Structure 1
Amino acid sequence: MSTETELLLNTPRVRIRRRGADKHPLILKAARDLVADVGFRETQMSSVAEAAGIAIGTLYRYFPSKTELMIDVVKVTAQREVDVVAGIAMRDGSAHERLGAAAWTFANRALRGRRLAHALVAEPVEPDVEAARLVYHRALSRVFKTIIEQGIASGEFPAQDAAASADCIVGCLFEGLVTPLSNDVSADVAQINTHASAIITFCLRGVSGSQAPYSVPTQ
């Protein structure tokens, strides 16, 4: 037997410590659900750990601070909303139809999930969380900007600064939704649709000059 073989046989085996399942998705879901229920401010790290079924120490290994966790909640939730609106924007149809449908989809989803939407739109938050929300605003604005540019190119919309118009739509949607999102009283579907339609009619008039009221799609 060679010396090298003897060394290999006589060397104690090192036990490899395997990591457990990644808790990151579980934590984010628990945190998102809590924010949707009570908002950013009232969501506590201890509550997140309990909802996720993990020890508080485990939570802090993934997220050293509540601010870091809330930033990730904003990023994941906001990206989901942007993806939904972008999907509407990429459909077939006129720019006017797609712009209205994209804005209506955003407003309708916000009004149906109002506590979470209020957290993403208007709740006072830490500066770093606010910075993450601004990234969300810009991403949403880029979706609207693309539709407006397509409308200008096709002659549907008059010449305009597409970026500025898109920013105005985002601002109009966010500001127009603050009051209903702050209202804890559930509204029925007709009230939700009426409010969303009024906001979008205003946006479309600004971009296209059309005076026709926006009619929400049939469910």
Structure 2
Amino acid sequence: MAYRETEMMRERKAQARQRIIECAWESVTTGGFRSARITQIASMAGVATGSIYRHFESREELFAEMFRLATQHEVDRVAQALTGPETAAQQLENALRLFAERALRAPTRAWALIAEPVDPKLDEERLVYRRAFARLFEGAIRDGVLDGSLPEQNARLASTSLVGAIAESLIGPLAQASPEPCEAADLKPNELVDAIMQFCMQGLTGTRSQP
């Protein structure tokens, strides 16, 4: 008789897989990808090291899955900020500010998601991550042009420019959490966020954004 997996067994496997992902994310949030070891993750999850490879073919696959889930959470938070009674331009500023503030509140986590050198598979996932944000921003820019809160412009080009500008502006400060720190901005977090917002919104509207 052929072996048939029961619903209970499938549920247990799904729970174990989710627990491994959660522990991997906890490890990355604490020390970045550089400190996340399969043996440590297995210990945190309460499973044997070999058990992890029954759920994920490799360390890279585990990290890629964890990265997808973590970044989708960030994308969802930004998408939520792009709703409400404000003009599209104000919603966009709210979303950009949220992105920057969340990154600076958890620099190790943000560094891991935005820029930490890992492997080509994670670099591919980062491109997907950036495109997701760009699509959200593009929609908001188009809405802003329609409601008159933003001037006529190339929404697709402007959205990708926003993603690049905010990510690159944060890399220096976030790199303090990396194994090879680089020079950080000599600004307090709120001052840095205000400066980023001023640059982004001035580029979109042609006028200075008020802190």
TM-score, normalised via structure 2 length: 0.88
Partner of 1:200: 197
Displacement after TM superposition at 1:155 (Å): 1.9
Q: In 1, Cα distance between the equivalents of 2:119 and 2:4?
A: 44
Tell me the CA shift for residue 16 of structure 1: 7.9
Q: Which has the larger radius of gyration?
A: 1
Gaps of 5+ in 1: 1-13
RMSD: 2.1
Q: Which runs of 5+ in 2 are unaligned?
A: 179-186
Task: State how 1:20-169 maps to structure 2 within 5 Å.
Answer: 21=12, 22-169=15-162
C-alpha separation in 2, matches of 1:63 and 1:16: 19
When the two structures are superposed, what TM-score results if normalisation uses the length of structure 1?
A: 0.85
Which of 154, 163, 166 is equivalent to 1:173?
166
Deviation at 1:60, TM superposition (A): 0.9
Shift of 1:184: 4.0
Q: Which runs of 4+ in 1 moved over 6 A?
A: 14-17
What is the SS of the residue equivalent to 2:32? Answer: helix
Q: Secondary structure at the match of 1:210?
A: coil
Question: Comparing 61-70 with 18-27, which one deviates more in the overlay?
Answer: 18-27
CA deviations 1:92-151 (Å, max 9, x no partner) are 211121111000000000111110110111111211111111111100111111110001
Q: Which moved more, 1:148-157 or 1:14-23?
A: 14-23
1:191 alignment partner, one of 179, 188, 191: 188
Provide the identity percentage. Answer: 35
Match of 1:9 in 2: none
Deviations along 1:139-167, whole A, 9 cap, x unmatched? 01111111100011122211111011111
1:15 CA displacement:
11
* CA deviation after TM superposition for structure 1 residue 47, in Å: 1.0
Question: Counterpart of 2:38 in structure 1: which amino acid?
Answer: M
Q: Secondary structure at the match of 1:85?
A: helix
Which one-letter code corresponds to 1:171 in the other structure? G
Task: Return the letter of the residue paired with 1:31.
Answer: A
Residue 55 of structure 2 aligns with an amino acid whose one-letter code is: Y
